[in-house]
Amino acid sequence: IDYHQARFVHSAPTLAHCLPDEGHEVAFAGRSNAGKSSAINALTGQKALARTSKTPGRTQLINFFELDDGTRHLVDLPGYGYAKVPEKVKLEWQRHLSAYLQKRRSLKGLVLMMDVRHPLTEFDQMMLAWADDADMPVHILLTKSDKLKRGAAAASLQKVRSALAEWDDLVSVQLFSSLKRQGLDTLAQTLNRWLAP
């Protein structure tokens, strides 16, 4: 798949306003500021396809990007755990996310992004549990790996892999840096597999 051909097609305020449940899609989820939008830009080789920001909570809509033939999509989800969002809205969003994982037939896999320095937060674990319930494959990107020395990044990878060893049929993990363009090939291979017709 040529990810450079990706183009923005749709923004949805809630999952009820998503594109029709057809074709194949892969969603990018994770805490606010984990680097989801940056990863989509790195993958597609487009600097500003998805909006990024130093301030957490930049992505507040569900954004759909169409790939080549229009039947496959990348979905940029709003980050979770954004402090300024009221508790009630957070709970509502969590309910939606779990329903999306359970019911969305076109969803073939979840890219779950975690800052390599703070992986497996409580909410990350909740996402993993929901994905497991839904039998949804998860590929974890330990993002901003450029922020750690090589040894420390490798140690974080090892720690996450062993914590998730019991789920290794559904979950894979890699180091990733949008800034250094590290790990793009491995990510693309995983997406190609999930999005294969």
b/e map of 93-102 (b: 16 or more CB within 10 Å)? Answer: beeebbebbe
Interaction of residue 38 with Mg ion, rule CB under 5 A: no
Query: Nearer to Mg ion by C-beta: 52 or 174?
Result: 52
Interaction of residue 156 with ligand GTP, rule CB under 6 A: no
Give the total of residues touching ligand GTP (CB under 6 A): 24
Chosen residue from 27, 29, 52, 62 binding ligand GTP by CB under 6 A? 52
Chosen residue from 18, 26, 29, 33 binding ligand GTP by CB under 6 A? 33
What is the dihedral sign for C-alpha 109, 169, 176, 185?
negative
Report 55-84 residues binding ligand GTP (CB under 6 A): 56-59, 78-79
Edge-to-edge, what's the strand order for the sheet holding 72-76?
A: 7-12, 62-66, 72-76, 24-30, 107-115, 138-143, 171-175
Query: Nearer to ligand GTP by C-beta: 14 or 196?
Result: 14
